[in-house]
Structure 1
Amino acid sequence: MKNKIKQTSILLFEKKGFTETSIQDIVGELGVTKGTFYYYFSSKEQLLMDIHISYIDELLERQKAIRQEHHSNRTKLERLIALLIADIANHGPSGKVFFREMRHLDRDNAVKVKKKREHFRKNLEEIISEGIAKNEFRSGLEPEMVAFAILGVTNWSYQWFNPLGKISADQLARIYSDLILHGIA
């Protein structure tokens, strides 16, 4: 039931927004009582925090697996780009809630989520730095800025990318990888 509440809430938050979705909307959609909601979550904000932590923890685990592979840093970077785009394709509503609704977390919870997001970015920076050191990427790059650029390009895709459209998630990941690794000139 806890997972059903989360999944229903994600869809409602995506559609109506966090502030416009009431606990009554959530339980009404599920056909349960508010008591059922409060059995699993102390508040709507705690539910939002649970959604955020689940989302980023899963991404961090999958990133860790890619980082531990015995591949070049270039391949790891390509796989991370593919991971982020596939995640949007497979978990679009969760991504929208993750990126759009964080502003509704209380200060302490927002700090916890931001630390995890920063950890993801730092891991990406490390791959870029290692790639520069091994001459897989050109020298003179600023790993922090490149990491921010990669995350900006990939994460913004949740706003417009339609996995059922003319470009698949795999194709978009290849387009982004090519753009990031080769530029447009």
Structure 2
Amino acid sequence: MAIAPNADQEGGPRGAIMNVAMHLFGKQGFTGTSMRDIANAVGLLPGSLYAHIQSKEALLLSIVSDGIGRFLAAVGPLAAGSGTPAERLRKMIVAHVEVVADNPERSQVVFHQWRFLGEGNLPVAVDRRRQYESLFITVVEQGVSSGEMRSDIDLRIEVRTILGALNWTPEWFSPNGKLGAGEVGEHMANTLLRGILA
């Protein structure tokens, strides 16, 4: 199944359908959203949707794949960049929050609705999520090896704790809040790093 381009930038009816689906999946959940809901929100007959998309699941796969791709693109270069492991991990945490802040609704779908993909598409999302997790594992491993981070930590538990906290930010982050995404990211980095630094 082909992965759709960036849902935010895609134009025409398909772009409208993608954005409406993103909103409804975030608000009502994937299983709570019908093709009729999407069609009504876009102003099309339900049958007309299929001229632009393959299925409801294809929409979810496109949103999830595009969304994870954004996190990989923002965080991957930082993981492999310059600086100590702790400095890079801090930048990665901030970058993650900044991607969330760019579109919290999309991030909600990416983090909480991917499980509803069918068995044919679920491995695509799982593989992309593992790629992302491995960026954090590698940097923490480097921190442990250099002595900058504690050697008595369980790498996977610590990384999943960090990602678990980050992945819930779309539930409470407000683009109109007192603090910007970078500031929120710095606050989170201060808290999350404290538990693993030597």
TM more than 0.5: yes
Q: State the Cα distance separating 1:28 from its structure 2 match.
A: 2.6
Letter of the structure 2 residue corresponding to residue 86 of structure 1: E
Structure 1 pair 20–71 and aligned structure 2 pair: CA distance change class (3 A): same
- The answer to whether residue 89 in structure 2 is matched with residue 77 in structure 1 is yes
Point out 4+ residue stretches in structure 1 off by more than 6 angstroms: none
- Tell me what 2:113 maps to: 101
Letter of the 1:142 partner, please give it. Answer: D
Equivalent residue for 1:52, pick from 64, 68, 75:
64
Q: What pairs up with 1:1-185 in 2 under 5 angstroms?
A: 1=12, 2-34=14-46, 36-183=48-195
Deviates more, 1:5-14 or 1:62-71: 62-71
Distance 1:112 1:75, change over 3 A: same
Deviates more, 1:143-152 or 1:133-142: 133-142
Shift of the alpha carbon at 1:162?
2.1
Question: What letter is aligned with 2:118?
Answer: D
In structure 2, what is the Cα distance between the partners aligned to 1:34 and 1:42? 12
**CA deviation string 1:134-154 (max 9, x = no partner):** 222232222222111110111
Residue 21 of structure 1: CA displacement?
Answer: 2.1
Distance in structure 1 (CA, Å) of the matches to 2:87 and 2:44:
47
Deviation at 1:33, TM superposition (A): 4.5
TM-score by length of 1: 0.88
Q: Is the 8 A contact 2:93 2:166 kept in 1?
A: yes
Which structure 1 residue ranges, 5 or more long, are not aligned?
none
Which residue does the alignment assign to 2:9? Answer: none
Aligned residues with identical type, % of pairs: 26
Separation (CA, whole Å) in 2 of partners of 1:174 and 1:182? 12
TM-score by length of structure 2 reads 0.83
Between the two proteins, the alignment pairs up a number of residues equal to 183
Q: Which has the higher helix share?
A: 1
The alpha-carbon deviation at position 133 of structure 1 amounts to 1.3
Say if 2:97 and 2:169, in contact at 8 Å, map to a contact too.
yes
Q: Distance in 2 between matches of 1:39 and 1:61?
A: 31
Q: Which whole-Å CA distance do the structure 1 matches of 2:143 and 2:47 have between them?
A: 53
Contact kept? 2:108, 2:171, Cα under 8 Å: yes
Query: How many Å apart are 1:36 and its aligned residue?
Result: 4.9
